[in-house]
């Protein structure tokens, strides 16, 4: 027998899903995350499910993991000492940044940290122009002096970022050779290898961020690989990257910046899968865990993607699923600000100490505590009884810190906390829909994570959405996405010509495709297994931003250029409400991605209606008071069953709410589809 495992690490819990490839059964578990050594939580989760299911490590045929360990190191400023080598006059590019400001009209806002202090940023003579021509030869003697000086500073790595190196990397490459000659033990990174695209600030900071998290990611995966070997698991560890695919740990280490949205991307992949199963081509994924909520978009059956994001207010340029995050999770702390207003998040109680009700020493009221006080959570059956929730102390602290300052009863205050959290979720939904020209009423909301199914109906109602889908095993849904994600790698390079030129586009996509096939070949895949897609970033001449549109299959010719141009005009009109068809367009970046499909998870439904009803309890839904609410064991409810609200569905890892005056139907795929 063979089994596939997916492990997703969150801020509070680590989720594990195991799939029996012979019977089609899916089993799940959760274990507390173990910051700062998150790998212990991963191995604990693997041990737990293998022991519980009596499965030997040698029977594992596939192992995939989603993590944010690299992102955490930047957020917590736990990064190595780095140096920077650049052109004369450009040592302060990290300090100056660009025109982007959190508040457009506030000239006093602080810039994000540069990550490399000024005394470690070194200049060398040498220059390449905007056409890729060498204007000034590299002064190798000066480079050697700079390298020797950085060695004396005992730094961990050097970033090399020279002007226009994406067009001509020769000077960067020569600096790399000199580093290897004079300091062979020194790690270094070239911007022309990490991010060969336009804009020197974004290229430089992306390369710096890659080096900042590289050692942390490398150490993390090394410990995981050792732990996996000790358990007799003889398969490579696959890592989810921000683009929604999986790659090897060696590639994850070399391109550590690609792991910044590793965990949330898995949930987005699973959102696309389940929305299509239920017949919805347009869907919004809402992954609400213990620390935050991640919102993604599926439009016309495809995940909406981006080529840029942020970490700690620093821009990151790398292919990724377009995911918006808000600090509203089950562990988000409720507090009263100086003006007497109620706030929820962004700070979280996390895994340690956790919400008050977990009994781990938490002293700050959280969203989970509020849901317990409203009656939404059963204190005795939470996580199948693994954690017995503490009600009395939760009530006392909530009354002292939230209810009394607001002049409300505990129940009214708890409902207010839930309402504030739902408003934050609605704002994120608005951001990915209304602010981008989409009507949220046209989308179904796919809610998952430990807290998502509790909050989704109210958040959806606030946005006039009609349908909420709660998938099977919502508490570990992102881990399920790890089992179905395809192997995927991406390559990109700045476009070398002005205007759109068919021969140049063909030449560059062929070069990128060859590099991509080599990278996938390192993972053991042949060219006949790889599906290649091509795209190009296009803008109107003089524009400061660009849009990514597909390059049609086949040889690139005049007809191809017409299709690219038309796609750009249409997308520009869709996003911004207008297009300028008489204006010339230009290309900025070419992109190629290659995927190797992963075998689908065809899990069997083994549910019946026997013993599904657990009884009733009072739940505080509205200011009007408590309502008697039916409680069901979700795992015992079969396809075709209909439940009318108010009702609560309980299962290991998550609780779902069916609000009053709504109906929930159980689909053939095991999802709960709520009609609001």
Closest CA to 236 of 487, 532, 506: 487
Ramachandran sector of residue 373 (left: φ over 0; alpha: ψ -120 to 50; beta: rest): alpha
Q: What is the pLDDT at residue 360?
A: 86
**Contact criterion met (CB below 8 Å) for 284 and 268:** no
Q: What is the pLDDT at residue 606?
A: 53
The two three-digit tokens of residue 571, written as one number: 């997308």
Quote the CA–CA distance of 366 and 333 in Å, as a whole number.
Answer: 4
Quote the CA–CA distance of 350 and 330 in Å, as a whole number.
Answer: 9
Q: What is the pLDDT at residue 465?
A: 94
Quote the CA–CA distance of 426 and 430 in Å, as a whole number.
Answer: 6
Nearest 5°: the CA angle 514, 255, 482 is: 90
Residue 352 backbone phi and psi in degrees, to 5: -140, 110
Quote the CA–CA distance of 266 and 241 in Å, as a whole number.
Answer: 8
Quote the CA–CA distance of 364 and 309 in Å, as a whole number.
Answer: 31
- Return the H-helix or E-strand segment holding 66: strand 60-66
Residue 21 backbone phi and psi in degrees, to 5: -70, -20
* Fold classification of 487-596 (topology level): Dna Ligase; domain 1 (3.30.1490)
Q: What is the pLDDT at residue 70?
A: 83
Alpha-carbon distances, residue 621 vs 344, 411, 416, 626, 647 (angstroms): 19, 10, 11, 6, 11
Q: What is the pLDDT at residue 610?
A: 64
Q: Enumerate residue ranges in the chain where pLDDT < 70.
A: 383-386, 603-610, 623
| From the candidate CATH numbers 3.40.50.10470, 3.30.420.40, 3.40.50.170, 1.10.760.10, the one assigned to the domain spanning 3-74+216-259 | 3.30.420.40
Q: What is the per-residue pLDDT across 121-170, written as a single tens digit (0 to 9) for each?
A: 999 999 999 999 999 999 999 999 999 999 999 899 999 999 999 999 99
Provide the CB-side half-sphere exposure for 334 (13 A, CA): 31
**Contact criterion met (CB below 8 Å) for 23 and 33:** no
- Dihedral sign, CA of 252, 253, 258, 264? positive
Quote the CA–CA distance of 323 and 241 in Å, as a whole number.
Answer: 13
* CA end-to-end distance (rounded Å), the chain: 43
Alpha-carbon distances, residue 465 vs 282, 290, 468, 667 (angstroms): 12, 24, 8, 19
Sheet holding 187-190, edge to edge: 121-124, 82-87, 157-160, 187-190
Quote the CA–CA distance of 133 and 130 in Å, as a whole number.
Answer: 7
Where b means 16+ CB within 10 Å and e means fewer, 551-570 reads beeeebeeebbeebbebbbe
The angle that helices 410-432 and 452-462 make with each other, rounded to 10 degrees, is: 70
């Amino acid at each position: 027998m063979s089994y596939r495992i997916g492990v997703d690490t969150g801020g509070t819990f680590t989720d594990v899903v195991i799939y029996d490839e012979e019977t089609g059964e899916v089993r799940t578990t959760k274990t507390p995350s173990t910051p700062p050594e998150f790998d212990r939580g991963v191995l604990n989760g693997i041990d737990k499910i293998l022991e519980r299911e009596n499965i030997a490590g040698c029977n594992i045929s596939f192992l995939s993991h989603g993590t944010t360990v690299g992102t955490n190191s930047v957020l917590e400023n736990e990064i190595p000492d780095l140096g920077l080598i650049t052109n004369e006059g450009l040592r302060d590019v990290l300090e100056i940044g660009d025109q982007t400001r959190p508040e457009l009209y506030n000239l006093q806002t602080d810039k994000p940290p540069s990550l490399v202090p000024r005394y470690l940023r070194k200049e060398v003579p040498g220059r390449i122009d905007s056409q890729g021509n060498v204007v000034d030869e590299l002064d190798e003697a000066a480079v050697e002096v700079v390298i020797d000086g950085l060695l004396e500073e005992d730094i961990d790595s050097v970033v090399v970022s020279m002007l226009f190196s994406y067009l001509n990397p020769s000077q960067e490459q020569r600096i790399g050779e000199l580093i290897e000659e004079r300091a062979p033990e020194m790690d270094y990174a070239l911007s022309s290898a990490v991010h060969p695209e336009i804009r020197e600030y974004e290229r430089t900071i992306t390369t710096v961020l890659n080096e900042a998290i590289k050692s942390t990611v490398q150490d993390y995966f090394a410990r995981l690989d050792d732990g996996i070997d000790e358990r007799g698991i003889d398969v490579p560890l696959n890592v989810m990257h921000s683009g929604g695919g999986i790659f090897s740990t060696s590639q994850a280490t070399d391109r550590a910046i690609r792991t910044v949205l590793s965990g949330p991307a898995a949930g987005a992949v699973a959102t696309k899968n389940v929305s299509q199963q239920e017949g919805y081509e347009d869907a919004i994924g809402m992954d609400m865990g213990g620390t935050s909520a991640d919102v993604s978009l599926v439009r016309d059956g495809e995940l909406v993607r981006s080529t840029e994001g942020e970490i700690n207010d620093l821009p990151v340029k790398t292919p990724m699923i377009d995911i918006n995050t808000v600090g509203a999770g089950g562990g988000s702390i409720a507090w009263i600000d100086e003006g007497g207003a109620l706030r929820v998040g962004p700070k979280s109680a996390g895994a340690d100490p956790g919400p008050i009700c977990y009994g781990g020493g938490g002293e700050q009221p959280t969203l989970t505590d509020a849901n317990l006080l409203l009656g939404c959570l059963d204190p005795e059956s939470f996580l199948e009884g693994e954690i017995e929730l503490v009600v009395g102390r939760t009530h006392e602290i909530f009354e002292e810190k939230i209810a009394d300052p607001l002049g409300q009863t505990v129940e009214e205050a708890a409902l207010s906390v839930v309402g504030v959290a739902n408003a934050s979720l609605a704002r994120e939904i608005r951001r990915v829909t209304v602010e981008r020209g989409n009507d949220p009423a046209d989308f179904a909301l796919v809610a998952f994570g430990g807290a998502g199914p509790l909050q989704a109906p109210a958040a959806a109602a606030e946005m006039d959405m009609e349908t909420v889908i709660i998938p099977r095993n919502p508490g570990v849904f992102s881990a399920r996405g790890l089992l179905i994600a395809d192997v995927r790698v991406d390559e990109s390079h700045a476009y070398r010509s002005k205007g759109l030129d068919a021969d140049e586009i063909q030449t560059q996509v062929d070069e990128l495709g060859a590099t991509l096939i080599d990278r996938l070949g390192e993972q053991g895949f042949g060219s006949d297994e790889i599906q290649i897609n091509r795209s190009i970033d296009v803008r109107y001449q003089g524009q400061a931003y660009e849009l990514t549109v597909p390059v049609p299959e086949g040889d690139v010719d005049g007809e191809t250029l017409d299709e690219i141009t038309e796609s750009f005009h249409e997308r520009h009109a869709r996003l911004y409400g207008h297009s300028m068809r008489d204006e010339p367009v230009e290309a900025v970046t070419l992109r190629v991605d290659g995927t190797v499909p992963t075998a689908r998870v065809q899990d069997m439904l083994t549910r019946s209606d026997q013993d599904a009803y657990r009884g009733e309890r009072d739940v505080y839904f509205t200011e009007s008071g408590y309502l008697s609410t039916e409680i069901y064991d979700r795992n015992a409810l079969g396809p075709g069953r209909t439940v009318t609200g108010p009702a609560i569905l309980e299962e290991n890892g998550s609780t779902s709410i069916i609000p009053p005056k709504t109906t929930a139907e159980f689909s053939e795929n095991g999802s709960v589809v709520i009609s609001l």
